[in-house]
Amino acid sequence: MTATQIIDEIKRITPEEREQVSLFLMQFDVALFSKMKNSMEAHSFHHADDSVVEEASERILNRHASLLKKLAS
């Protein structure tokens, strides 16, 4: 059954049945949103703050200064 067919069926049902469909969809949306949110939180990552990035950059630049100079020339 296509989405268009489902929509047509919903248009034909009584207001009481439409209300039941609406409640189902709201509950479905809440459950789906909750799953999506949990998935996003599980796959999220944290960003380093600027000071951590600067410190790491300094260490890398200092450790590999001669190589970087050769690559730049």
CA dist 21 and 14 (Å) reads: 11
- Residue 1: C-alpha distances to residues 4, 8, 9, 31 (Å): 8, 11, 11, 23
Per-residue pLDDT of the chain (73 residues; tens, 9 = 90+): 898 998 899 899 999 998 888 888 888 788 777 887 777 777 766 677 888 888 888 888 888 888 888 888 7
CA angle 22, 25, 26 (to 5 degrees): 85
Q: Is residue 18 a contact partner of residue 10, using CB atoms and an 8 Å limit?
A: yes
Would you call 70 helix, strand, or coil by DSSP? Answer: helix
